[in-house]
Structure formats: C-alpha cells, structure tokens
Chain A
C-alpha cells in the first residue's frame, strides 16, 4: 500500500521554520502540477500523431469546461457526485486501504433515499428529507463499512470485496426499481415513484447547480479537518503507515478501519441522495453511471488529500463537460476524454517516485541556523 504519511507535509509539526515548511509544501504542489503538464504533453503528442490539433483540443476544452458562465454551470453540475465518490476512496486510503467499489454505495444510497421519499411522501419536508438523508447515509455506510469489517475481521481483501459488492449493489438496485419499488406509472424508464415537490432539493440560489456541490465541498473540508487536525485522523495515518506497528501500539485498528470505510460509504451514499433528489426525482438505473469509478481517479490524483480533491474533481468534470464539444467540433470519439485521463493518471502516479529527489524541496536546505 502507498505510504501517504511519508510525503504529507502536515504529518508532523514542522521543526523546519517557515522556509523549510514552505519548501516541503511546494513539493506537494509543484510535483503533481508538473506531472499534470507532462500528462497533457504526452496526450498532445498522441493527438498530433492522429493529425489532430492539441491546441484546438485544449482551447475547446477550456471554452466548454471553464470559458463561459454556461461552461462553469456544466462543469460544476458534474462535480458534486465526483467529490463524494472521491472521498469514498480517499478516506479509506488514509489507512492504506484501496476501496474501488464506491459506485455500490452511491447506487444503494440513491435507492434508499428514493424509497424513503415514497414512504414519507405525505410528510413535511422537515421530516422526510432528514429521513432520506439518514437512510442514504446508513446504507452507504453499511455497504462500504462492511468491506472494512471484512478486511479487518476476516482478512478479505478490500479492493476485491468492494468491487464484488458494487456489482451486487447494482443488481440489487435494478431488482428493486424494476420489481418491488417500481412505480407502475414509470413507463419507459422503470423508477421508484416520483418524489413530491417539497422533497426535491433545488439549486444553490443564483446558480444552476444543485446543493450537492456545496455539501460535497463542505465534506471535503471536514474530511481534511478530520484527517489532519484530529487524533482519529492522526491514528488513521499511523495505521496507514504501518498497520502492525499501530496494532502493537494499541491503537483501535479495527474500529478505525470500520469507521473510515463506513464514513467513506456514508458520503458516497449522500452522492446517491443528491442524484435522486436533485437530479432524477426518483431512483432508477441512471444511478449507476460510473461516478464511483471516476472518483477513484480523482482520489489518486489528489493523493488522497481531501482539499486537493476539490480542484481535481472540478478539473475532471470540466474535461467531461467539454467532451461533447470535442466530439462535435473535432470529430474525435467520446473516448478521447478517457485517453486523456489515462495519460494524466499514469503521469501523476509516476511522479510519486520523485518525492524527496529534489534537494530544493528539502527543509534542511532552508533551515535557518
């Protein structure tokens, strides 16, 4: 597993003074940024080999992803589920666990919220919405939390277990929305009964982007506080650094593993809640559209730092937002975005090997004597 603590500038109180700390922190920013540019460069070469203009590609991407007010709305409306999905990967990763089945928690969280919305359809929003949120959180937490529990108490590999459970969750969702929970009036798209208008979560005032974005960003900040500023986060990082040593020191490894995986699952469940209440208005098969998998990419690119997830989720959402214009203007297939993601992902992972290699980032060099 990755040893994330080693490169984390905030892992220990810095004895290095201001410049030293600055040097260490700039390493954590400059290296991934350079790697991002290297990934773009490699992708540009790929495009040039196809006889397509990289300049046109990136200028269209900028315009359709970030260049206009509409572009921002397009990008940000795609960002919300990605923030939650990435946190579902990043939180367990702090303990050294690679959970890749967040999709399952998103899907089940969505179904749970949709079902609660049906049960409480005649209640006031003040009762129904918290019930929906709670059920989404609980189902998400149970799903991914049990992956953590299986890992700790049974030794089942969490990567594989979470993947299998994502497949199972999607099957369950399909079974429920086309079987017991199906609204007979949902004709061509089998769904749960439509949510009452007062149970729909709307847009952030003045924006055409739903509240999920704000809560997603807030969750990132809170997750950062949890990891970097609390004892639990500190303990989790020790577990991630060396699980056996943590056990020897008497840390509650089992509770930390179950807690962090459950928390990640709860957040993924929230993504499902927002998809149902803010986007679709009912739970249906559109809940499983791969947000969970894009979340893996974002979490790794952010090196599992919750604050870094925010800009990276926006960046990736921007690339996806521009995919349509790229298809239409450059006659490139929709998979072009996937190729770009691949190049960038590989480039950033390769940069992991460079940490500590450049003396300019070494705090000792800047230590004032």
Chain B
C-alpha cells in the first residue's frame, strides 16, 4: 500500500461516511416516516439491536444474508407495530413507550442472541466502485455495500413519496393535524401505527447492516447508540429524507475522524475526537433551533416539538 500522507484524512472520512452511515440512514429514514405521521419512536435503538441479532442468527442458520435482512425487517416491523398499537391507546406517552420498547428490544436481542456471539455468519455482498484507481485505500473506501445504495435510493423515493403521492400526503396530513385528518375521513391511529411499523422495519434493516456487513459481527456491544442518535439526526435533518441521507453521511464521516487523526499522528485527546459527532450534532441543533417558532418541517402533532 502507498503512503498517502495527509490525503488519508479526507479519504478516511469518505470511506467512514460510506461504511458507518448506513445504519444511521436506515434508522433515521424509519424515524422520519414515523414522525411525519405524528408519533415519535425512541425505541429504534432496541429495534436496531434486535434486527442485528435476528439478521445474524438467520443468516448463520440459513446461509443467506438476504434472508437475514428480511428477518430483521420483519422483526423490526413487529416492534414498530407493538409500539404503534400501544401508543394508539389514549393518554399513553409515545416517548416513554419508546424507551420501554428500547429496553425490551435490547433485552430480547441479548437473551436470544447468546448462542450467536461466536459463530460466523455470511456477509452481505458489496460492489467495488474503485476499479478506476490503483490506490488500495481508494479501492477500499469505495467498496460500497448494496444496502447503502438501497438506502440512498429509498431516501430519494421517500422524499418523492411525501411530495408527490397520495400516501405521502395522507401521512403528512395525519402528522400535522389529527382533527384535519379526521375531517378528511382518515383514521389517524391506523395510519400512525402503519407508519411506525414500516419505520421499525427500516430500523431492523439498519441493524442487519451492522451485524452482516460493518462491523459484520454480532455481540452485545454491536450498537454504540446508532438507534438513539438517528432520532437526533431526524431533527437535524428537519424531517427531510434527503437531508437524512446527508446527515447520516456527515455523522459517519465525523465518526471516522477520531481513529484517522491518530493514524496521522494527532494522538492526544482521542476521546475528545471520538465525541466529535455528538458535539457537531448538538452545535447544529443549538444554532438552528428557535425558542419562538416550531422548527421548519416539523409535523404539527409531534410531541417533541409541540
């Protein structure tokens, strides 16, 4: 391999953005879908971890990583459905239910995941976009997983859905005003529950990426809070799916900064560099929020912005 000097930093950030962003992308897309319908699901961290476990277990047992992804999506949808149904009861707090679902999801994942810590499951395939370069670092950075591409397409598709389709309009109406939705003859609880279930499926797939591609292993420390952070990224992205894509890339790239700086000799205070993504997100939230008006793009019925 060649010594690229300081060029290694932007390259690593690009590579890190592509490698690390996918779980953030899927969970935040799922959360956008849920929040646009007027509910918040803080439990996606549990869904993500459960998705990671079930994907790994099924991929190991069947030999097919794609069946694993499917299992993760199904499991995620189930968690979303439960969250959606419980929150349809009057006077039940969706944030609290989210925290409870997070605990349950992680508990079940760890409970059933014990036998799968050691076995090696097949990885998801990736496509190499670095064929044009002779530099191994570039080749490695541009080795892109199929799920990343699917996620990118989904982000644009979801943006288009909210903008131009009837389903998108229905979700937005329900999210903006329960009363208006009722007046239109819609059933808000049903639509919100469906949106939460679909959002859960997205988060499950994000978990599958963790265990089946990067870092590509199942253990209890597989998620370092990606599911929780994705909820923050949605606010950061102003409920816009394409902005979620950008926020996920930014967050993934910022996460690669800590290790890479050490590799070029900035080795002191690495804990502080590791905290860079959190500081960055908080900073952007502080700058872009406003005490007087609701955030642009915020669904009117959303409890956290009311």
- Chain A interface residues toward B at CB < 8 A: 1-3, 98, 100, 150, 152-157, 159-161, 163-165, 167-168, 171-172, 174-175, 178-179, 296-297, 300, 333-343, 345-346, 349-350, 352-353, 355
Contacts and interface: CB of A to CB of B under 8 A. Distances in A.
B285 A157 contact: yes
B99 A345 contact: yes
A355 B93 CA distance: 13
Interface residues of chain B: helix, strand, loop or mixed (majority): helix
B279 interface: yes
Interface residues of B, number: 51
B107 A342 contact: yes
A179 to B, nearest CB: 7
B133 interface: no
Given A98-B95, A156-B285, A157-B285, A336 B111 contact: yes
Given A156-B289, A171-B274, A339 B108 contact: yes
B163 interface: no
B96 interface: yes
5 contacts: A153-B291, A156-B286, A179-B268, A297-B100, A342-B101
Contacts of A297: 99-100, 103
B86 A350 contact: yes
Interface in B89-108: 89-93, 95-97, 99-101, 103-108
B305 interface: yes
The 9 closest A-B pairs by CB, nearest first: A342-B104, A338-B107, A335-B110, A171-B275, A345-B100, A339-B107, A353-B89, A175-B271, A155-B291
Contact of B97 (A100, A163, A334, A346): A346
A346 B101 contact: yes
Given A156-B289, A297-B103, A163 B232 contact: yes
A159 B42 contact: yes
A150 B109 CA distance: 35
Given A338-B106, A342-B100, A163 B228 contact: yes
A15 to B, nearest CB: 24
Contact of A178 (B92, B232, B271): B271
Contact of A346 (B86, B108, B304): B86
Contact of A168 (B220, B231, B269, B278): B278
Contacts of B109: 335
A154 to B, nearest CB: 5
A157 B305 contact: yes
Contacts of A161: 282, 285
Interface in B72-92: 86, 89-92
Nearest to B95: A98
Contacts of A178: 271
A167 B92 contact: no
Which residue, A300, A343, A345, A349, has most C-beta atoms of chain B within 10 A?
A: A349
B91 A355 contact: yes
Contacts of B289: 150, 154-157
